[in-house]
Structure 1
């Protein structure tokens, strides 16, 4: 079934803006780019669909479901495989979890829309903490404010987050995909 246009646009937006932020991270950029040979360059649409399929499954089945645990385990195996060449620190995993916890609110907030109640924010945090636990991420913030603080500290540190040739190549690939 093809999603309605609004759903498709929203998924595309979350994927594109989320991955733009992931490749702003030094470790994230290196792993996604893989010296210009990453899936983002070779099969960008397939990479986007694969990522969105995992996210959709996690939402449909819930973070604690066996289906989500299996999906997260597949992603973790992939990360472990690429980590042999492109290491990922726990800090980078925390950044990714915090980013996807907060991203919808940030995007909609630009338009002055604040869709989440405090209870929904707490549920969003719990959802992504559970995903993080499936992926063996340690030390995840337990609150919305903690996720905001953790993400902000990571992105403000040039040790973790700065322009790199790898990140630039990935961003260009995302922009090109968005324009087609």
Structure 2
């Protein structure tokens, strides 16, 4: 019997994927992606690739790995670490949640949505605020392009490095188009639109090459990045590896996936080869289990979180709440598929 095909309405969130379609297969996401046009449906493809089968552990792991690289540049470390007073340090749990919630909202709604535009407006205003204290730190267009290029290509690159199949051609095209759309919403310190200063790479492959080249630049040693990164690792370990005996493995689970240049820049030691092998095997096994064994989730993690909030079993996301309230005020007749969180 042919599977029922119900396309997502234009402008709808990823949560609007047909439940009739979902019920037809345990591994429905790959089949759904195969039906879509990446040049038109790139937002849905990115959402299906990013926010359905992801877990809170995955989000925290990726946050820790990604943000550990902020200290590759002295200005990046200064703006994030702030002499030990930065939110990543003194408000660690909330900062982690806020960052992940931004990424999830963008993925759920897409670059053209008023929800995403409102969320990124918050980020731009934060950058303007901190640029007054750390002049020049938010003026480097290549830092933004690196982050967005890495975001588009990181999972594919990681899977290939673990000997696993990477993303399909449709996922690559969709990821590139999605992050090009996100980049167009950001401004640099001068107030100029980021992509007017420096365009995004033209293809997925060029994004991957850009991210690699950036991380392999001969950046000068930056010891301020080490204590900053140690704090991020400590936060991850306290959340997911409370047993002291597992801490060395938990630490290797982060540092194994650092850009090689980071150890020189920070003056940090690489993990023991045995721990590296364990970490790579662990991540590889998680991908295999998620992609080939377990049933695909029927709703994105954003909706799972909202459902827990509605049941009183979780705290509402500050970002989700703030953004949807603002969008609701700006568009009293609609504009967002979710009920406003009070």
Q: Which TM-score applies when normalising by structure 1?
A: 0.88
RMSD: 2.1
Q: 2:173–2:204: 8 Å Cα contact kept in structure 1? A: yes
Pair 1:79-2:127 in alignment: yes
In structure 1, the residue matched to 2:227 is 169
The alpha carbon displacement at 1:112 in A equals 2.5
Shift in CA distance, 4/146, structure 1 to aligned 2, threshold 3 Å: closer
Q: 2:150–2:211: 8 Å Cα contact kept in structure 1? A: yes
Separation in 2 of the partners of 1:58 and 1:162?
33
Q: What are the residue-to-residue correspondences of 1:146-165 with 2, within 5 Å?
A: 146-158=206-218, 161-165=219-223
Q: 1:41–1:173: 8 Å Cα contact kept in structure 2? A: yes
In structure 1, the residue matched to 2:96 is 48
Pair 1:131-2:182 in alignment: yes
The alpha carbon displacement at 1:114 in A equals 3.0
In structure 1, the residue matched to 2:63 is 15
In structure 1, the residue matched to 2:45 is none
Q: 1:22–1:29: 8 Å Cα contact kept in structure 2? A: yes
In structure 2, the residue matched to 1:97 is 148
Pair 1:27-2:75 in alignment: yes
Tell me the alpha carbon deviations over residues 25-44 of structure 1, each in whole angstroms, 9 at most, x when there is no partner.
33322211112211111011
Shift in CA distance, 6/142, structure 1 to aligned 2, threshold 3 Å: closer
Pair 1:119-2:170 in alignment: yes
3-state SS of 1:35 partner = helix
3-state SS of 2:179 partner = helix
Shift in CA distance, 5/141, structure 1 to aligned 2, threshold 3 Å: closer
Answer with 117-126 or 6-15: which moved more.
6-15
Q: 1:18–1:103: 8 Å Cα contact kept in structure 2? A: no
User: 5+ unaligned residues in a row in structure 1: which ranges?
Assistant: none
Separation in 2 of the partners of 1:117 and 1:48?
30
The alpha carbon displacement at 1:165 in A equals 2.7
The alpha carbon displacement at 1:54 in A equals 0.4
Higher percent of residues as helix: 1
Structure index of larger Rg: 2
The alpha carbon displacement at 1:147 in A equals 0.8
In structure 1, the residue matched to 2:201 is 141
* Dislocated runs of 4+, deviation >4 Å: 3-6
Shift in CA distance, 4/157, structure 1 to aligned 2, threshold 3 Å: closer
Q: 2:92–2:235: 8 Å Cα contact kept in structure 1? A: yes
The alpha carbon displacement at 1:17 in A equals 1.1
Q: 2:157–2:166: 8 Å Cα contact kept in structure 1? A: no
Q: Which TM-score applies when normalising by structure 2?
A: 0.48
The alpha carbon displacement at 1:59 in A equals 1.1
The alpha carbon displacement at 1:6 in A equals 5.8
The alpha carbon displacement at 1:128 in A equals 1.1
Answer with 38-47 or 17-26: which moved more.
17-26
Q: 1:22–1:28: 8 Å Cα contact kept in structure 2? A: yes
